A and B are shown apart, each in its own frame.
Chain A
Amino acid sequence: MKEFLLIIRGGHDESEHRSPEEMQKHMQHWQRWMSGLAEEGKFVGGQPLKSEGKTIVEGGSRVIDRPLAEGKELVGGYLLIHADSLEDATNISKDCPGFEYNCSVEVREISPM
C-alpha cells in the first residue's frame, strides 16, 4: 500500500455562514467518513488548519503576513491515507465531507526521498 496526502482547499467562506448546529452535523460527517477509513486501516493522520498564517519567501529574507494563496486555493487541512494507487486514493477522496463546504481536494502521492 502507498501513502497519499489529500490537500483540502477552500471552504473557509462557506463555513462562516453556517450555524453551530450545521457545523456540528458537518463534523459528524467527518467523523463517520474517517472512522470508515480507520476501520479499513487506511487512515494515517491529518489536521484542519487555521486560515491565518505566514509565508516565507525570497530565500528566507522576507516574511509575508498571510498565506499566499487565498479563497479557493487556501489550504484548509490535510489528510494522510493509505491506498493502492492514485486512482484508489482519488476514489476515496470523493466521499470527503469537505465537498459539502465547497472544498476541492488535491490527491498527491508521498515520494520517497
Chain B
Amino acid sequence: MENNDNIDATLNHLFRQESGKMVAVLIKIFGTENIEIAEDVVQDALVSALETWKFRGMPDNPKAWLYRVARNRAIDIIRRKKHSKTIDFSDPKKQLLTSEYTLKTTMEDFWEENQVQDDFLGMMYSCCHPDISQENQITFILKVLCGFSTKEVAKSFLTSEDTISKRLYRTKEYFRKHKIRPEIPSQSAINQRTSSVLSAIYLMFNEGYNSTHTNQLIRKDLIRQAILLCQSLLSSEQTQLPEVYALMALMCFHSARLDSRVTAEGSIILLSAQDRSKWDHELIHSGQDYLNKASFGSTLTTYHLEAAIAYQHCCAECYENTNWNKILEYYNVLLNIADDPIVFLNKCLVILELQGPKEALLALEGIKKNKLLEKYYLYHATLGEIHLRLSNHSLSLAHYDKAIRLTQSKSEKRFLKDKISSYK
C-alpha cells in the first residue's frame, strides 16, 4: 500500500498544476454561469482520487486518472441536466453533448491537450478584464485557476475568508451578467489585454515576494503559482510576447535571491550583506535566457527594465562590484516609460550608492510633498538612511520612527528598530 504522505504530496502538486486547467475546460462546457459546477466536478475528482489511491495505491498516470474522473463526472452531470435550463446547450458543439450518439466523443474533444491549454489561457484573460478590480482578479485566479482553497487565499491576502468569498462572488456575478465566453483575445487586442494579465501575475508574485508575509510556505506557493501562470502564457504561440518573457526573467532573477533575503528567524538581510553563494544560479541562468528572448521586436516595457536592473544585481560577484552606473541608466529609461514616484525613490537609492547622501537628498527634493510617498515606509526609511549618513541624527531618527509606524511587516519593523538602536 502506498505511503499516504506521498499520495497527499503528489495530489497537492497535481492539483496546483492541473485543477485550473480542468476548471477552465469544465467552464467552457458548462458556461461561465456555472463556475460552481465546474469547481465541484474538480473537487469531486480530487476527493475520489484521495479515497481511491489510499485504498488501491497510486495509478501509473495520476494526471490522466484525475482528468478521466472529471470527464466522467461531467458526462454524468450532462445526462442529468440536459433537459434543465441550468446549462445552455445552444452552441452547435455543445448541442452534441445532449445526444448519446456523440456525448462521449464530443467530451473527449473538449479535453484535447491544446484545447485545454487555450481554455486555461482564455480563462486567465477573461478574469483579468479591466472591468474587474485587480484584487478581485488575483483572488479569482488563486481560487479558480490555481486550486487554492478559500482559506488559503484568505491567508495569502492576510484577510478573512468572508472577504474572499465576497470578492469571488462579485467576479462570478460579473461573468454571469456579461455572459463572458473565455477566449484568448484577437491579435489586435492581445497586447493591451496581456498587460492586464501580466500586472495581475506580477502583483501575485510580489504578494509572495514581499516580506509582509511571515509564512514562508504561502510566500513560496504564491511565487511558484505566478511563475506557472507566466509559463503557461509562454507555452502558447499567441501569447509569447516580449513583455511576457521579460516578466518571466524578472521573476527568475528575484526568486533566485529569495532564500538569501531573510535569516532563519525571519529577519531581513540587506542586499549588501546577502550571501551570494546561496543565490540560485540555475534560476539566474534561466532568467538570462528569458531576457534574451524578451529582446526581440521593439517592445520595451517596465518589466524589461526591471529585469535588466535585477540582472545587474544578480551578475555582480559581490556588492562592491555592482554596476551602479548601468543601473542608474536603466532607472532613467524606466522613469521615461513609467513616471512612478516609487521608481524615482529607488533611483535615489542608486544615487546614494553612486554619488553619496548629499546628491541623493538633492534628488529627493524633486519629489517632496508627494502624498503617496509620504505614506510609504521606504521613503522615510531612505530619508532616515540619508540623514544618518549626513550625521543629522535627530532628523534621521524622526524618519525612521515614521517608517516603523507605516510598515505592516514585523520583520521590517524589527530591522528598522535594530538600525536605530545601533546609533541611538
Does B associate with A?
Answer: yes
Contact surface of A with B, Cβ cutoff 8 Å: 27-28, 30-31, 34-35, 38-39, 41, 43, 45-48, 77, 79
Give 8 CB contacts A-B under 8 Å: A27-B104, A30-B105, A35-B102, A41-B92, A47-B99, A48-B101, A79-B99, A79-B101
Query: Which residue on chain A has the smallest CB distance to residue B104?
Result: A27
B96–A34 CB distance below 8 A = yes
Contact surface of B with A, Cβ cutoff 8 Å: 92-93, 95-96, 98-102, 104-106, 109
B105–A43 CB distance below 8 A = no
B106–A31 CB distance below 8 A = yes
CB distance from A28 to the nearest CB of B (A): 6
CB distance from B29 to the nearest CB of A (A): 15
B102–A30 CB distance below 8 A = yes
- Residues in B with CB closer than 8 Å to A34 are 96, 99, 101-102
- Residues in B with CB closer than 8 Å to A79 are 99, 101
CB distance from B422 to the nearest CB of A (A): 74
- Residues in A with CB closer than 8 Å to B99 are 34, 45-47, 79
Expressed in whole angstroms, the Cα–Cα distance for A47 and B103 within the complex equals 10
B105–A38 CB distance below 8 A = no
- Residues in A with CB closer than 8 Å to B109 are 31
- Residues in B with CB closer than 8 Å to A41 are 92
Query: Which residue on chain B has the smallest CB distance to residue A24?
Result: B105
CB distance from B108 to the nearest CB of A (A): 9
Query: Which residue on chain A has the smallest CB distance to residue B106?
Result: A31
The residue that A27 contacts in the complex, of B93, B95, B105, with Cβ under 8 A, is: B105
A39–B100 CB distance below 8 A = no
Chain A CB within 10 Å — which of B96, B105, B109 has the most?
Answer: B105
Known A-B contacts A30-B105, A31-B105, A31-B106; A45 and B98 likewise in contact (beta carbons under 8 Å): yes
Known A-B contacts A31-B96, A35-B92, A38-B96; A46 and B101 likewise in contact (beta carbons under 8 Å): yes
Beyond A34-B101, A34-B102, A38-B96, 12 additional contacts (C-beta under 8 Å) are A31-B96, A31-B102, A31-B109, A34-B99, A35-B102, A38-B92, A43-B95, A45-B98, A46-B99, A46-B101, A48-B100, A79-B99
Known A-B contacts A28-B105, A30-B105; A35 and B100 likewise in contact (beta carbons under 8 Å): no
